[in-house]
Amino acid sequence: MEQCLNSTFKALEGLEAEVFVVDNNSIDGSVDMVRQKFPQVHLIANVNNPGFSVANNQAIQLAKGDFILLLNPDTVVEEDTFKQVVDFMDSTPDAGGLGVKMVDGKGEFLPESKRGLPTPAVAFYKIFGISRLFPNSKKFGKYHLSYLNKDEIHEIEILSGAFMLMRKTALDKVGLLDETFFMYGEDIDLSYRLILGGYKNYYYPKTRIIHYKGESTKKSSVNYVFVFYNAMIIFAKKHFSQKNAKLFSFFINTAIYFRAGLAIFNRLIKKLFLPLFDFLVLLVGLILITNQYQIIQDISFPEKILQFGLPLYAILWLLSQLFSGGYDKPHQIGKHFVGSVFGTGIILVIYALLPKDYQFSRLVILIGGAFTFIYYALSRVGLHFVADDRFKLGGSGSKNIVIVGDNFESERVKSIITKANSNIKMVYFVSNTPEKLSNKYVGSLNQLDQVIDIHKIQEVIFCAKNITAEEIISQMIKLDSKHLDFKISQPESSYVIGSSTIDSQGDLYVMDINQINKPAHIRNKRIIDFGLALILVLSSPFTIWFFSSKKRYLTNLMNVLIGRQSFVGYANTQHSTNLKLPKIKQGIFTSTALLDHPSQDVEIISRMNLIYAKNHTTLMDLKIIWQNKKYLDH
């Protein structure tokens, strides 16, 4: 929001305009930020979330301008964006609405910058991927009008709600946003009503905006599928004939379950494919090792034992890799070694406890353990070289960063990111001018592409105080690197923000409070919760008599056991710093249990929550539980 408003007011210089911000009951401090940093904004702070259409209509009804612009908070506009679009609308009297060229957080063109009307046929081609197969076809490419040149002005049908400029007189004629739509579909509906009202909608690519996208609803989520396609059904029932609306609704309902199922399946495949593949390799390896051992030793193991024993061994080695952090990112060979040794040890202990009839060879187990480590080590080295960044090896996942700006801003931003992130290998400086400002800089702005190539840069941070939004967008498009992240530092702000993909939230460089949310900590915290709760539940016939509220004691234990609660969580406070903490389950005990004496001071409670998130360890949880065990019934 702050980034968006900064770029908005720069672009409004020399124009007579008013800016409205409507907040739908957010809890991230946006309202306070707007009040403090942008007192000239007309702020509407709703006490609930009435939806996108209602919120925009609240502002439209108060607006006095000749033109109304709907602008998403996850956008950055160029300095001349508003002047250009207003001049175009003034010179094009038949224009009722206008959209601009949008690029995402990596500088990639967003196809929804220009769209056609989603008729049943067009929707069918889009839903089942035919439009993607034939993007240059006028028949199949109508959804995103992909056959039209993205760098030329075109008359289009549907505008994007992320940047939707409309003539006020046109809105007075056709009406405001339809409040039947909660989120999604309202921009399609209003665009279509503008056309029905005798106006034309235009795509204007002579100015551009960044639209980070996906910050409100992740495109890969099942929730997005249902919300988006149900909005399409509302649109069809409103504008199409009864016959076409039924046909459209049939396609949409089919698509909802098809795409929702696809989203769930895709997520499962992404998470389970590698572990399942590893299990199969381990199992095949164990079978080959056992068969070879039997041939060399001229012996024969019972077939039934092998049928159950070998898969069980493979599963145990796989689980030992999981719990040792072998599947955490970035991959580390050392964790695979620990997992292999740990798994081998567990299997040998189980082997020793088995009856003689079920023991077939310790040597096979030892060779299997060695094979497990060799396989994981070789496969991860291979993935490091042939797969994407998710499979890169390294203890820290460190990266090279370049900061583009003047001396003061560059140093300020470097201080922020180095304090916030320990995974930085090297920080380089590029001057925001055509020439290097001093020997401290490795290059100038017009040499940025060379700096990135030579120094193997993974991330570029632009200082918005020194570089215009237009120049930032131009550089992002020019560099166009799949392996490069872009972020923007706002003046006098303690954060650096950016977003690389539709499905990733904006990355923030702030204090490293994410220790508690790292995979190993999440896993270990759940193991402690489950294991301890299970022990206490099983021993409850004896332990329950030590507690006055026996029902509450059992309820707490069961909530922890099924994962509804944790033994330790944050203390409840509305302090602004705590709104950005990583999400964890509510606890029976809280972080304030670390204090020697209870405190009601909001600042102290907030600080304890921060300390808990930043320095969390398993021992910290165990200490809190042990010291407060007599309060398990609270």
* Residue 327 pLDDT: 84
pLDDT tens sequence across 321-334:
988 888 877 778 88
In the predicted structure, residue 413 carries a pLDDT above the cut 80: yes
Q: Give exposure, 52-91, as e/b (b: 16+ Cβ within 10 Å).
A: bbbbbbebbeebeeebbbbbbbbbbbbbbbbbebbebbee
From CA 60, how far away is CA 356, in angstroms rounded? 81
pLDDT tens sequence across 488-535:
888 877 667 665 443 344 444 444 445 677 777 788 888 889 989 999
Q: State phi, psi for 3 to the nearest 5 degrees.
A: -60, -45
Q: Are 431 and 444 in contact (CB under 8 A)?
A: yes
Q: Which domains does the chain have, with CATH numbers?
A: 2-114+150-212 (3.90.550.10), 217-386 (no CATH), 399-508 (3.40.50.720), 515-631 (no CATH)
Q: Facing residues of 200 across strands?
A: 95
From CA 340, how far away is CA 331, in angstroms rounded? 15
In the predicted structure, residue 423 carries a pLDDT above the cut 80: no
Give the mean model confidence (pLDDT) for residues 605-627. Answer: 83
Whats the size of the chain, residue-wise? 634
Which among 81, 52, 50, 87 has a CA at the least distance from the CA of 66? 87
pLDDT tens sequence across 549-604:
999 999 999 999 999 999 999 888 766 555 556 778 999 998 888 776 777 777 77
Q: Are 323 and 275 in contact (CB under 8 A)?
A: no
pLDDT tens sequence across 119-173:
777 877 877 778 888 988 988 998 899 999 999 999 999 898 899 999 999 999 9
In 62-118, the DSSP E strands lie at 67-71, 75-77, 95-103
From CA 313, how far away is CA 325, in angstroms rounded? 19
**Cβ of 391: how many Cβ atoms within 10 Å?**
18
374 or 47, higher pLDDT: 374
pLDDT tens sequence across 381-391:
998 888 766 67
* Residue 253 pLDDT: 66
Single-letter amino acid code for the residue at 95: A
Give the mean model confidence (pLDDT) for residues 418-443. Answer: 82
What are the DSSP calls for 498-546, one per residue? E--STTSPPEE-SS---GGGSHHHHHHHHHHHHHHHHHHHHTHHHHGGG
Instruction: Specify the DSSP class assigned to residue 109.
Output: B
Contacts of 364 (CB under 8 A, 6+ apart): 286, 289, 290, 293
In 405-495, the DSSP E strands lie at 424-431, 443-444, 459-463, 485-489
In the predicted structure, residue 244 carries a pLDDT above the cut 80: no
Give the mean model confidence (pLDDT) for residues 251-279. Answer: 76
Q: Are 428 and 457 in contact (CB under 8 A)?
A: yes
Q: How wide is the angle at C-alpha 29 spanned by C-alphas 220 and 570, nearest 5°?
A: 80
pLDDT tens sequence across 89-108:
999 999 999 999 999 888 88
3-state secondary structure of 422: coil
From CA 307, how far away is CA 305, in angstroms rounded? 5
Which CB contacts under 8 angstroms, 24+ apart, belong to 432-438?
432/404, 432/405, 432/406, 432/463, 432/466, 432/467, 437/406, 437/407, 438/407
Q: What's the gap between Cα 136 and its chain centre?
A: 31
3-state secondary structure of 211: strand
| Three-class SS of 159-188 | CCCCEEEEEHHHHHHHCCCCCCCCCCCHHH
What are the DSSP calls for 546-590, one per residue? G-S-HHHHHHHHHHHHTTS-EEEEPPP---GGGGGSPP---EEEE
pLDDT tens sequence across 264-274:
677 778 778 89
From CA 47, how far away is CA 11, in angstroms rounded? 30
